[in-house]
A and B are shown apart, each in its own frame.
Chain A
Amino acid sequence: MDENIAEAIVAAPEADASDAVDAETFRVKMTTRNVNVHYAEKHALRDVTLDIGEREVTALIGPSGCGKSTYLRCLNRMNDTIDICRVTGRLELDGQDIYDDSVDVVQLRASIGMVFQKPNPFPKSIFDNVAYGPRIHGLVSDRADLDQLVEQSLRKAGLFDEVKDRLGDPGTSLSGGQQQRLCIARAIAVGPEVILMDEPCSSLDPIATARIEELIDELRQNYTIVIVTHSMQQAARVSQKTAFFHLGDLIEQGETPQIFTNPRDEKTQGYITGRFG
């Protein structure tokens, strides 16, 4: 293993990626067809059909309890950890059914990383937090590679300069915003193709939020990102596509500017103008 691999894992091309987005080379990364989710008796998600475009940010918005987080957790089968949860429908990553029996969730989640609502660094050092994924997946074979991978992941998450002198400190000693960027670095270190973010800024102050939003914008050059947010401004700022959920239904989806300026559905209209939420 050489330097290139560590680089590839964090997918850090130096090339100007902005034109990749501008060039309208839209490609579907994930498709979901008629996704239904039941929690015991409760029908939490009804017939959601949605495509996630590669290397762009898709925002899922809607009032609380609308099913947007539930949908997000279907994408990397996090709902498997909940006994009573049942998912039906077809969900694909690059054309491969991710709920197929042949797919291992471990492998799947290595390709689809996740960042959670509350920063949840492990009670380990900053270094070990980032190194955790590569270690369990056996991605690196020696310490030097690991060091490099950790450094590059932290750099991609825009955290390295702040923590480079204290990599041995516990991850929990960082501030909330730093912790969340640590969690992003932790997700990047596994080398995912898709990153799911579940309200990543909801517990952060405005400055830390701005920092994360910038980071998301940088990351989309290399990753497909799906973000759940309850802040419409944030959705408007960071996303290219937006999907609006309401009471378990996907009401409307489209280009972000279109959703926010010219929504087709009156529920969407009502939500973005703040009539309910």
Chain B
Amino acid sequence: MTDSAQSVLIAGQKEKVRRGLDRRLRSERRFRAYGIVAIVLAILMLLFLVGTIVSNGYSAFTQTWIKVDVLLDEELIAPDGETDPETLREDGDFRGALIETLVADYKPEGRAQEDLLVAMFSTEAEWTLQRHVIANPDLIGRKITIWVKSSSDIDQLTKGAVRRDSPESGRKLKDLQLRWYDRMTAENRIETRFNSGFFSSGDSREPEQAGIWGAIVGSFLTMLVTLVLAFPVGLAAAVYLEEFAPKNRLTDLIEVNVNNLAAVPSIVFGLLGLAVFLNFFELPRSAPLVGGMVLALMTLPTIIISGRASLLAVPPSVREAALGLGASRMQVVSHHVLPLAMPGILTGTIIGMARALGETAPLLMIGMVAFIVDIPGGPTDASTVMPVQIYLWADSPERGFVEKTSGAVMVLLVFLIVMNASAVYLRKKFERRW
């Protein structure tokens, strides 16, 4: 074949390549678009989720208060004339005083309407009044003005979550209540305030009184137990496996175990806690102690694995240098290797703890789902934790709890963001390239 014949044929090939080009570039663009669509989809989902939570939940941080004028009728509040706190607390009928004034002001007709009127206020209102009077006993007999919490339904109305135009039978707030509410608004008796009770009280059946402080304390105690158990044990195990363990079957067995445990569904750890900690060792149900133990077992593999990775990243030259100076292996590890690996180990620990903080399923198994009003005082008190509180509230039908649930989710997410951000910061700050 001659040169010219060959170049003609090569030109033919070029032509073929050129002709296929359009189709190939189109398919290239399509393929690239799939990738972008996938990422956009995932990010949109995240935004949708966060958006839903925030739009449902931001209102949990405010609370509607109503200004009422109460005549502190001596007959009701201090029938014996005694005004010391003890007697007031025992005998004072603050609820009666409240209702008496409200009835006088709004003039409900009959028992049913009176109930409707009272239902506009939180059941907490009488305690607010009581506290106020106990602090100022000289007010008794006078007419005072005091702000009290509204009921959850009124709260939702103020926040715009109740449709007024739906048929009366279908809504919780009746027309009469709406009229009273409008009158209160006109008299500037309605006010929205920061809901400090949300951050200072425990659970409640009434949405307007429910708070997450109990759950936060429960979570804190549980995490404390988890950290105290999982960190030293995980650290010790990582150090042993990475620095001391001989290569034998026991070590292999441990390695396989650690890897598998890391992938065991969390609910199985709950079953373990139920069968071993509760039924066998008879530890208390619903206690942060047991919750912390279960979560510690669950977190342990994460800490061991990340700890080993950090230890492995410390170059052998460091160990050799220290050994060459006559340090024992234990001294090499504790003086040189561990300090260098510590940021990595802490990062892994924080990430493991963050995961434990968001964990719900195993805690359901050990009875942390109970309805608990009191703020737990110690690791053996019955308590709940934030994710479980979210689960419990999510199950409650009242509209007021939807907002509370979303609010609790926001608080939980803030904790998680802080933990993860500190892990990232730690990693960035101490990142070393050998």
Residue ranges of A at the interface with B (Cβ–Cβ < 8 Å): 4-5, 7-9, 11-15, 20, 104, 106-107, 110-111, 136-139, 191, 193, 222
Contacts and interface: CB of A to CB of B under 8 A. Distances in A.
Nearest to B14: A111
Given A8-B12, A137-B17, 15 more contacts: A9-B9, A9-B13, A11-B10, A13-B6, A20-B3, A104-B25, A106-B17, A106-B24, A110-B13, A110-B14, A136-B24, A139-B16, A139-B17, A191-B10, A222-B6
A136 B24 CA distance: 9
Contacts of A191: 10, 13
A192 B377 CA distance: 79
17 contacts: A8-B1, A11-B6, A11-B10, A20-B3, A104-B25, A106-B21, A106-B24, A106-B25, A107-B14, A110-B17, A137-B16, A138-B17, A139-B13, A139-B16, A139-B17, A191-B10, A193-B10
B313 to A, nearest CB: 26
B20 A8 contact: no
B188 interface: no
Contacts of A13: 1-3, 6
Interface string B279-292: 00000000000000
B9 A8 contact: yes
A139 B13 CA distance: 7
B1 A7 contact: yes
A8 B10 contact: yes
Contacts of A137: 16-17, 20
A20 B2 CA distance: 11
Contact of B9 (A4, A20, A111): A4
B111 interface: no
Contacts of B9: 4-5, 7-9
B179 interface: no
Nearest to A17: B3
A15 B1 contact: yes
Contacts of B20: 137-138
Interface in B1-38: 1-3, 5-6, 9-10, 12-14, 16-21, 24-25
A181 B9 CA distance: 24
Contacts of B1: 7-8, 12-15
A8 B13 CA distance: 9
A142 to B, nearest CB: 14
Contacts of A111: 14
Contacts of A11: 6, 10
A104 B21 contact: yes
Interface of B: 1-3, 5-6, 9-10, 12-14, 16-21, 24-25
Nearest to A104: B21
Taking each of B2, B5, B13, B24, which has the highest tally of chain A beta carbons within 10 Å of its own beta carbon? Answer: B13
A107 B21 contact: yes
A110 B25 CA distance: 15
B287 to A, nearest CB: 55
A188 to B, nearest CB: 12
A222 B3 CA distance: 9
A107 B6 contact: no
A256 to B, nearest CB: 24
A237 to B, nearest CB: 26
A13 B1 CA distance: 5
A175 to B, nearest CB: 31
A5 B6 CA distance: 9
B16 A138 contact: yes
Contact of A107 (B5, B12, B17): B17
B13 A107 contact: no
A4 B423 CA distance: 66
A139 B10 CA distance: 11
Given A8-B9, A107-B21, A15 B16 contact: no
A15 B2 contact: yes
A15 B5 CA distance: 12
Contacts of A7: 1, 9
A107 B18 contact: yes
A191 B8 CA distance: 12
A222 B24 CA distance: 29
B25 A5 contact: no
Nearest to A193: B10
Contacts of A4: 9
B4 to A, nearest CB: 11
A81 B10 CA distance: 27
A191 B5 CA distance: 14
A11 B5 CA distance: 10
A83 to B, nearest CB: 16
Top 5 nearest A-B pairs by Cβ distance?
A8-B9, A138-B20, A13-B1, A191-B13, A110-B17
Contacts of B6: 8, 11, 13, 222
A229 B334 CA distance: 50
A20 B17 CA distance: 28
Contacts of B16: 137-139
A20 B6 CA distance: 14
Contacts of B18: 107
A136 B20 CA distance: 9
Contacts of B17: 106-107, 110, 137-139
A21 to B, nearest CB: 12
Nearest to B23: A138
A251 to B, nearest CB: 34
Nearest to A6: B9
